[in-house]
Structure 1
Amino acid sequence: MTRDSGGYDEGYSSSDCFWGRSPGSLVKSFLEEHPDVRGIRVLDLGCGEGKNAAAFAQCGASVTAVDCSAKAIENGQRSFPDPRIEWLVLDGKAYLTRDELFDVIVLYGLAHCLSSSEEISSLIQTALLRTRLGGYHFLVSFNDGPHDLSAHPNFSPTLLAHSFYVEQYEGHTVLAESDSIIHETHPHNNIPHFHSLTRLVVKKVR
């Protein structure tokens, strides 16, 4: 499903917790407003080492954390040993072929790893089918704004307009939306760089 790992396995191998332990900003804000999520099912698709999965689990949710990188899952199981998290080494799109429903689906950093707009649209629409009415999507993806990919020399992400992602959720309620640039440095190479990001929180209403 992905064209390239983006060099993340190298990072996972060189760091115990490559992405850190704090959840993404959208997940953090949601859990501050909804600190008790006992009884809900969460799917963290393309979970990396599972910092978002762990945040939901710590608040009581039952979480399935899926990533195609065995090393990422290994790090996650070691860093976040929570019995409420089911860890799976599996392609994200393949997982969505299962006939299961979730209250929350987290799509952090997965969409831009796919090879085309058609694949990305299919991923989002299938994820919507696997989401209960009234459930939520948390989507974060590179978009077609400015990028410095010097820290990822072998990675060629699919860069689509911010509006493309918003349009995928036509007919649903967009609760939070931003198009911004982030600056970061990864621990395995210490190269400062930046990315343009789309961030969305969406409630399924139909």
Structure 2
Amino acid sequence: MNALVQNISKYRKMRGFTQEELAQKLNRSSQAISKWETGQSSPDISLLPDLAFALGTDINSLMGYVYDKKKITIYEDEYRQEDYYWGLKPSPMCYRVMEMAPPVKPLRLLDVGCGEGKDSVFFARNGYIVTAFDMADTGVEKTKKLADLYQVNVNVFKANILDFRLETEFDVIFSSGVFHYIKAELRSEILDNYKNNTAVGGIHMFNVFVPKPFIPPAPEQEPTAQNWKSGELFTYYTDWRLHTVSEIVFDCNSSGIPHKHCMDMMMAGKMG
């Protein structure tokens, strides 16, 4: 948080804005800007893209994250194609979320590692208030494009799951096919951050790939992928109610080469 406090002030002054001028650009009060810069309050997560744009920077720099400039996901290039690499059909997990947390009232949903946005846009089309992030610039742009196509709002921005931490509460946190990027030493910290920023009665819906000796390695070469142990994901939620705990083996053709994956899937609810 200290980095964000310092950087709002730093980038505002670099652009030559007064607090009043920045407030006008964001449709906020100058008092709100002052509180951000003194650490008395924080901008809502949904405002970060507009704040970064107004200050002439990006969210990563604004939050004080320093990145290795080398490519961190193989999908940065895959998403450059005109078609949608993962297609447009939402994950079956989306329907499970809708069963457990139907949007009969406004529900704030975060899609962690949204890829090209098919699940984020699906949720937005069904009435959820959707925030999403991905580490691939091309994924963020295609998410925006898909949201525009269906005329829905998805607050999407670029962030790295390893560095980004939540400071805003959500009712639903969703992620599919992303957690294999989380290093073992960061899993407890990241999941605790997600749990602490979930409303009472809220849910988490996650999956994670797990290796099995009877399944050959997937053809995709992902140098930053990290193995999870079978059942490991569930152990971080012993203090929540587990609604869904399953392990499945399924066929995949994402690389154009037929192969199999084993995946643990979990839906957990935060108790009061």
Is the TM value for this pair above 0.5? yes
Of 90, 95, 99, the residue aligned with 1:23 is: 90
**1:84-115 CA deviation, whole Å, 9 max, x = no partner?**
2101011234432x420000001222221123
The 3-state SS of whatever aligns with 2:90 is: coil
Query: What's 2:57 paired with?
Result: none
TM-score of the superposed pair, with normalisation by structure 2 = 0.67
The 3-state SS of whatever aligns with 1:13 is: coil
**1:49-88 matches, cutoff 5 A:** 49-81=116-148, 82-88=151-157
Of 161, 165, 174, the residue aligned with 1:92 is: 161
**Which structure is higher in helix share?**
2
Q: 1: distance between equivalents of 2:241 and 2:71?
A: 32
Of 233, 248, 261, the residue aligned with 1:195 is: 261
- Report the CA distance between 1:49 and its aligned residue: 1.1
Instruction: Specify the structure having the higher radius of gyration (Cα).
Output: 2
Of 212, 229, 249, the residue aligned with 1:181 is: 249
The 3-state SS of whatever aligns with 2:80 is: helix
- Report the CA distance between 1:15 and its aligned residue: 4.7
Q: State whether residues 125 and 152 of structure 2, in contact with CA within 8 Å, keep that contact through their aligned partners in structure 1.
A: no
Q: 1: distance between equivalents of 2:105 and 2:82?
A: 31
Q: State whether residues 4 and 155 of structure 1, in contact with CA within 8 Å, keep that contact through their aligned partners in structure 2.
A: no
**1:174-203 CA deviation, whole Å, 9 max, x = no partner?**
1111111121112xx411122110111111
Query: What's 1:166 paired with?
Result: 234
Gaps in structure 2 of 5+ consecutive residues? 1-66
The 3-state SS of whatever aligns with 1:190 is: coil
Distance 1:15 1:190, change over 3 A: farther
The 3-state SS of whatever aligns with 1:57 is: helix
Q: State whether residues 121 and 152 of structure 2, in contact with CA within 8 Å, keep that contact through their aligned partners in structure 1.
A: no
**Which structure is higher in strand share?**
1
The 3-state SS of whatever aligns with 2:231 is: helix
Q: State whether residues 72 and 224 of structure 2, in contact with CA within 8 Å, keep that contact through their aligned partners in structure 1.
A: no
